[in-house]
Amino acid sequence: MKEEFLKEFFPQNAFDLEWELSRFHRSKGGDGVSRAVNLIQNFIGESRVLKYPLERTYETWRTPRGWNLKDGFLKIVNGKYIAGSLALSPINAIFLSGKTNGVERLKVVDVGDGENEKDYKKDVRGKAILASGNPSRVYRMAKKFGARCVLSYFMRAQDPYIKRSPELIPDAVNYTAFPVDSDESIFGFALSYNQYVDLKTLAKKNLEIESFMDVDSGTNQLEILEARIGKQGKEKPIILTAHLCHPKPGANDNASGSALLAEIVRVLKKFEINREIIALWIPEMYGTIAYLTDHDHDFEFNINLDMVGEDQDITGSTLDLSSTPWSLPSFINELMAVHLQNPRFRMKEGSYSGGSDHYIFVDSSIGVQAVSLTQWPDRYYHTSEDTPDKASVRSFDWIGRATLESLGDIIDGISKEIAQATASRIFDRFMKYDKDPLVKNWIAFRTYKSLEAFSKYADVKNLMNYVKKEINLDLRSKGVKRFKGPLGDSWMNEKDEEWEFETLKKYPAFRDYKDELLNFLDLGFNFKEAVKIASEEFRIENLHDSEYLVKRLEEEGLIKSVNFR
């Protein structure tokens, strides 16, 4: 069956679909999402749309309000346009911006990065502020000091190695957003670096802008497209995911993953498959956690397609085959890695990072082994220059074939050669550790359980017996978590937000570390043990912030009492 899958697969379809999807402004709750969903439905056939209300909390995830951009512009009074038409270039509008009262004329005040109170020595009440800081932080300050509008330049994930910096792509407009809980009292525009520099110079004198922003709540719903393939049986279903949201153009992120998933579903529907496969196109993270609140999560594994279309020569990208975290045994990462080996492309593997929908599944409360295929870093990530001309049919072919080959192995049986290569990767990767005894013991246990899961498809008894001798672990799950999925932000107060902001500046990996810490607590380790293993995994030591997090979650009733000794 695997060979038949590959004969049917046509990567040009995915490439062409990416072009079509990139024409829609796919903001959560926006009309563009509905049009994108309709396009995919017309391509794949039978499927259904599930809808979940926005402006509510799913587990610990607080969702934004629906946001649908209709039109707008930004110009200098008696001068040039900065954004000519938001209907044509919607990325110039900050996501979750409020709307204007008709055309508003405002004075502009330069507040530097605008993230802290010290930046607001000048009166900004009722004015537009020019800022280079994180728009979420700038929004908080703008709200506090009564500003009416934010003019923002902010580039995430700068990386000189791939020539991703303001000076090297000065005309790119970055995708930015106000906080999830923001209201409509402030509107905002995203600028290119060149525009920011120009306005910074003009703001030294007497700069005024004319601005117009027309938005509404759109559908005010999270729309999820679901397709079901194959037959239900005794085996757990497989779930495939790709997030459909992001502003126009959002080509490689993530029209590419959505398009490739559509082509894979089209292929699978051509065959009688004795295994249920569920495909989801979701609003990133929010859609997945909402779906899992009223659907069974007893899946065997998840393959998440995110930023898979990149032409690596143009974008500087490398395929990151994100492994499941140490807390969760898995074989799907290693199986896919075997099929992805190709000297024509760059790939890295062996470490876990969140940041896409796979990380919802790998949480201890859900426990589904998951792999994310993400080209990262990308020079044009979250900018107006993430356009389809930066994609490659060869990348779609490479990743699409590996995905279909892996599915074919699970559905139709794994060859001895593929089985040996997969088992070897599971064994080698986790038996190389030889430091802390507690960590080594857990890794041996994880290796054993990964091989045990793989033993359904291949004979790995000898390896299992070898690893079993290395295990000395008597762990009984305590189930400390009182919520499902990784930790969202609905519990946070202003002090918590400030704490997290400062912690992430010092330790960027803390975003993944904190969920892994909670996973190990949930599995039955005490606090010190959980900190030790999670710290080793992410190579950070952060006892103080770990204590702060756990104690705050205890206070909020989100976890049971934890032994700190």
| Secondary structure (3-state) at 397 | helix
pLDDT at 186: 98
DSSP 236: P
pLDDT lower than 70: segments of the chain = 476-477
pLDDT, tens digit, 9 for 90 and up, residues 156-196:
999 999 999 999 999 999 999 999 999 999 999 999 999 99
Residue with tokens 């994930």: 157
**228 in Cβ contact with 121 (< 8 Å):** no
Report how far apart, in Å, the C-alpha atoms of 227 and of each of 41, 160, 234, 296 are: 9, 41, 20, 16
pLDDT, tens digit, 9 for 90 and up, residues 235-271:
999 999 999 999 999 999 999 999 999 999 999 999 9
Class for the domain spanning 2-64+220-412? alpha beta
**223 in Cβ contact with 34 (< 8 Å):** yes
**273 in Cβ contact with 231 (< 8 Å):** yes
**491 in Cβ contact with 556 (< 8 Å):** yes
pLDDT at 473: 79
- Beta-ladder partners of 228: 278
Question: How many other CB atoms are there within 10 angstroms of residue 125's CB atom?
Answer: 9
The secondary structure of 1-67 as a DSSP string is: -HHHHHHH--HHHHHHHHHHHTTS-B-TTSHHHHHHHHHHHHHH-S-EEEEEESSSEETTEEPPPP-
* Tokens of residue 126, six digits: 């009722």
- CATH code reported for the domain at 69-216: 3.50.30.30
pLDDT at 34: 98
* Tokens of residue 198, six digits: 């120009």
DSSP 340: H
How many CA atoms within 13 Å lie on the side-chain side of 154?
26
Cβ within 8 Å of residue 511, ≥6 positions away: 354, 504
| Nearest by Cα to 351 from 317, 326, 375, 328 | 326
Cβ within 8 Å of residue 68, ≥6 positions away: 27, 29, 30, 31, 215, 216, 217, 218, 219
Its pTM stands at 0.97
pLDDT at 472: 85
pLDDT at 331: 97
Parse the chain into domains and list their residue ranges: 2-64+220-412, 69-216, 416-468, 474-565
**226 in Cβ contact with 279 (< 8 Å):** yes
